[in-house]
Each structure stands twice: as C-alpha cells, then as structure tokens.
Amino acid sequence: MQRSKLAIGLAILGLLFSACGGSPPATSSPTAGATTTAKPSVAETADQVMARLYEAAKAEGGQVAFYSSTNTDDAKKILPEFEKKFAGIKVTHTRKSGEALVQQLVTEKKAGQDLYDVVETNLFEVAFVIEQGYTQKYVTASAADFPTEARAADGAWIAARFNNDLPGINTTKMPAGVTVKTWKDLCNPALSGKIAVEQSDVVVYSALRKILGDAEAQTVLKCIAANKPSLRSGHTDMANLLAAGEFAVTLSSNGHRLAQLKYEENKPIEWAKTDPIITDVQAMAISNKPKNPNGAKLLLEWLVSQDGQKAIASTGRVPASTKVPAKYPDLHNFGKIFFVSDALRADFTKDAEFWRTTLGIK
C-alpha cells in the first residue's frame, strides 16, 4: 500500500475545512467526536460478541461500507474470509490512497452524507478524521491483545496492521564494498545516483528526528539529497523497480513488499537491519453515523480477532495483535520498534517543508 501523500493531502484538507468555517486542530491525543462509548459486556468473549452482532447486522440489511487504503489484491484475500464466516454480510470496499480517502470522507460529511461505516488507513489520517468528530468510540473484545501503541485506551481507534519502513537493497546493484546497515550509510558518495526516495515519506524524516536528534536527522537528509536520489511516487512501484535493478537502494520501503519480492518472487532483495525499526500504525475507526452500525462493529471485531489478524498476516503484512505471528518475522525481529505515533503530527508542517526543500520536491 502506498503511504499517503500527507504533505499535500492534509494541506488540502486544511483548506477544505477552513472554507467550511474552521481550521483543523493539531492535537497529539485525538478523541472521538461521539459521546457514547459502546463496550461489549465483560462477560462476553470475542466470539460471543461477534455472534450477537452478526444477528443484528443481518437484521439491518447485511451491508458494511469499508473505506480503506488496503490495496485491492490484499483486500481480495482478507474480506472474503469475513464474508465466508458471516454469510449474508457483504463488505463494499472503497479503496484509495490515504489522503484521497480522507478527502472523500470529509467532502461527504460536509455535504451531510453518511456513506462510510469503517475507515482504515494510517494513524495520522485516522486521527484527523477523529478530530473532526466523524467517528465514535468502540472498545473491541480483543483490544487487550494489542500493544498500547496499537490502540486508543478509550476505543477511539485500534490498529489493523503495521508497516515496517526499511531501506530496501538490491544486492546485485550495490557498489563493491558498500553496505547499508543504517540510514547514515545512505550518505556514502558511492551511492550517488543509486538511491530512490518515495517523495511522500515525510513521516520517515519525522521519525528520524526523534531517533537521531534534529541536527543529525537534518544532516542525513541533506547528504542523501546530495547523492541525487530518484524521487518516486508509490511504494509498491518503487519496490518493484528496485527489484528490477532501476536503483541500488531505497530510503524507505514497505517491509512486507520487500519480503514478498525476496521470498515469493526470488528477487535479489534485502533490507537494512535498522535499530530501531520505524513502524507505521494502520488504524481503524467506526463512523459517528454509520448506515450499518452493527455491521460496522462486526467487521471491526473480526478484523482485530485472531481470525481477522491471521487473514491480514496471510498477505505478508504485519498483524497488530500480539496473539498472531507475522508471516515474515525477519521484518521485525532484529531491533526495537519505533512506533510512528500521532504525537509526531505536531511538527508535521515544519518537517514537510524541510523535506520538500531539501530534496527539491515541487
């Protein structure tokens, strides 16, 4: 899945919101707009909750509108498992990149249209939707299976999956004697003209500021820029071009796609074993006015259940539940995890400006 072009997308959203008489807030701890928190009974297991919601979802029409940046190929593996388990419940998947998805959702809400039931994309954008009051709180029965970084304690959101952001390497295209083990290694002049950067990856620089400190992160980005990187759009396309030998290394690629290329397509691909591992949280929330409230809760409950997390893991993506192992454990077993939290949004505008100016992104 492509990471959203947040610098552009959130700016557009800000303009849209301003035009409607306000400005988007930028707090680091979003809370849902709805005041009612729907909690399953403490006496109910996840299976019991889903059985109850299933009957209610059938009675309300058997539909769920799922707005998600999960790519179509992965959704075709995940969602049929839900529909098979809950016969008669149909999920309509609206798939767009994160910023396009949020722009559509905000536009619909401003027009008084309540068309989505569950939204799923990266945490930065889900937090923005939550702040506008377009979601409600709901604590799932499986919430305790998730690390604290993967859920809001009050049920405002919960993670579906993680994206590991790792420098990708084509082992046949690296200059002799050059290795990439850390982000600083991308400063090697021998890599001039051999690096690719996904131009929407501002969040990687935001994470590096916290990991390395402001001065060192700025130095690293400047020297990467001096190596004349190829600016790309789309993580999947960039990873495919890396495998084809278009360049030797990437600043950041989605780990699961690198693993697919290496293990399933036998490409000469490896990744830098960075410590810590920059990890994006892909979050979910329920609409404040869902057309199918029981169907929405049922889908959310299933996606975070062990069955749902296993379906997500089957695609190669990293499940967020501690109860379900990843298909490719060597994507995250070599270093500490640095979660990209919503708190990083506080400096996003400043980070985006430095990122674009340094790399020469128009």
User: Domain containing 301 — which CATH number?
Assistant: 3.40.190.10
Q: Give the span between the Cα atoms of 134 and 345, in whole angstroms.
A: 19
At 229, is the secondary structure helix, strand, or coil? coil
- Given a cut of 50, whether residue 177 has pLDDT beyond it is yes
Same structural domain, 93 and 237: no
Average pLDDT over all residues of the chain? 89
C-alpha angle 38/104/146, rounded to 5°? 40
The answer as to whether 221 is a domain residue is yes
Q: Under the phi-then-psi rule, with left for phi > 0, alpha for psi from -120 to 50, and beta for the rest, what region is 316?
A: left
- Given a cut of 90, whether residue 36 has pLDDT beyond it is no
- Given a cut of 70, whether residue 7 has pLDDT beyond it is no
DSSP class of residue 151 equals B
The answer as to whether 308 is a domain residue is yes
Q: What is the pLDDT of residue 126?
A: 95
Same structural domain, 124 and 206: no
Whether cis (ω within 30° of 0) applies to the bond prior to 147 is: no
At 112, is the secondary structure helix, strand, or coil? coil
- Given a cut of 70, whether residue 135 has pLDDT beyond it is yes
Average pLDDT over residues 131-143: 97
- Given a cut of 90, whether residue 165 has pLDDT beyond it is yes
The answer as to whether 332 is a domain residue is no
Same structural domain, 31 and 88: yes
Count up the domains in the chain and report the number. Answer: 2
What is the CB neighbour count within 10 angstroms for residue 189?
10
Same structural domain, 42 and 124: yes
CA distances from 20 to 17, 108, 303 (A): 5, 13, 34
- Given a cut of 70, whether residue 26 has pLDDT beyond it is no
- Given a cut of 50, whether residue 5 has pLDDT beyond it is no
Q: What is the pLDDT of residue 172?
A: 97
pLDDT in tens, 192-215: 999 999 998 999 999 999 999 999
The answer as to whether 72 is a domain residue is yes
Q: pTM score > 0.75 for this model?
A: yes
The answer as to whether 334 is a domain residue is no
Same structural domain, 210 and 81: no
Beta strands in the chain (DSSP E): 37-38, 63-68, 90-95, 118-122, 135-138, 158-166, 168-170, 195-198, 230-232, 249-250, 253-254, 269-271, 277-287, 318-319, 337-340
Q: 142 and 302 in contact (C-beta within 8 Å)?
A: no
Tell me the pLDDT band of 327, cut-offs 50, 70 and 90: very high
Q: pLDDT above 70 covers what percent of the chain?
A: 88
Same structural domain, 158 and 168: no
Domain that holds residue 92: 6-162+281-325
The answer as to whether 153 is a domain residue is yes
Q: What is the pLDDT of residue 43?
A: 76
At 179, is the secondary structure helix, strand, or coil? coil
Same structural domain, 10 and 145: yes
- DSSP notation for 49-84: HHHHHHHHHHHTTSEEEEEE-S-HHHHHHHHHHHHH
Q: What is the pLDDT of residue 42?
A: 57
The answer as to whether 270 is a domain residue is yes
Question: What is the distance of C-alpha 17 from the center of its chain?
Answer: 23
Same structural domain, 80 and 184: no
Same structural domain, 221 and 307: no
Tell me the pLDDT band of 6, cut-offs 50, 70 and 90: very low
Q: Give the span between the Cα atoms of 70 and 161, in whole angstroms.
A: 10
The answer as to whether 194 is a domain residue is yes
Q: What is the pLDDT of residue 97?
A: 82
Q: Give the span between the Cα atoms of 262 and 56, in whole angstroms.
A: 44
Q: Give the span between the Cα atoms of 358 and 75, in whole angstroms.
A: 36
Tell me the pLDDT band of 182, cut-offs 50, 70 and 90: very high
- Given a cut of 90, whether residue 29 has pLDDT beyond it is no
Q: pLDDT above 90 covers what percent of the chain?
A: 80
Same structural domain, 106 and 177: no
Closest by CA position to 324, among listed 43, 41, 46, 76:
46
Same structural domain, 158 and 171: no
Same structural domain, 153 and 29: yes
Closest by CA position to 281, among listed 104, 136, 156, 109:
156
Q: 321 and 160 in contact (C-beta within 8 Å)?
A: no
